[in-house]
Amino acid sequence: MFRLCLALAAAASVSACGDATSAPPENIQVDMRNLVDTLDPAPGLNHHRGGELIPTPSDTASRYYLIHTRTPLAGPNISIVRQDRGERTVFARVETDCAARRLLIASVGVTRSEVESRVAGNLQLRPIEGRPLREEMATFICDHAGTPLAEA
């Protein structure tokens, strides 16, 4: 019951802000390579500096930065990643299970605070096999966290 109330409160706060363009509809598949196309950030609005550049040879059109990672005692690593393409910037909260080779984009938004505060729901981590960008990102995040990505 508490989770339902929390989810309803979060949904009400997002709709009250009138920021419907920053969150993709529930039924849309989020593509890490095209977050800047999924969301509608104002050009240059969130052009931030900082973070560690993630090498992503599979996507030369964008630059991805690891802003922050934390490794809980149990569960996946939780990271904040920024994608810059031209003058557009978006953020994603990424959960990575290094041992199981799984990754989940838990939330996306045009600001870091948006992705950190949004309720992710009951989403499942997905395998990274056959997804080069996700594998590059998972490798970097896992190495940064001190838990290298398991071999395929």
Q: Model-level pTM?
A: 0.72
119 located within any domain: yes
Residue at 60 is within a domain? yes
pLDDT computed for residue 23 by the predictor: 39
Instruction: Return d(Cα 35, Cα 149) in angstroms, integer.
Output: 24
Query: Which domain does 49 fall in, by range?
Result: 20-145
Residue 11 included in any domain:
no
63 located within any domain: yes
CA distance 137 to 24: 21
Residues 3, 25, 129, 149: is their CA dihedral positive or negative? negative
Q: Which helix (H) or strand (E) holds 77?
A: strand 77-85
Q: How far apart are CA 1 and CA 120, in angstroms?
A: 16
State how far the Cα of 8 lies from the Cα of 146, in Å rounded to an integer.
36
Q: What per-residue confidence (pLDDT) applies to 14?
A: 35
Closest alpha carbon to 108 in 83, 85, 129:
83
Q: Which two tokens stand for residue 93?
A: 């909260």
Pull the structure tokens for residue 2: 């508490």
Token digits for 103? 């990754």
User: How far apart (Å, rounded) are the C-alpha atoms in residues 50 and 7?
Assistant: 31
Mean pLDDT score, 98-116: 89
Total domains in the chain come to 1
Residue 123: inside a domain: yes
Q: Look at residue 9 and tell me if it is in a domain.
A: no
Q: Does 43 map to a domain? A: yes
The answer as to whether 4 is a domain residue is no
The string of pLDDT tens digits covering residues 46-98 is 556 689 999 999 999 999 999 999 988 888 999 999 998 888 888 999 999 99
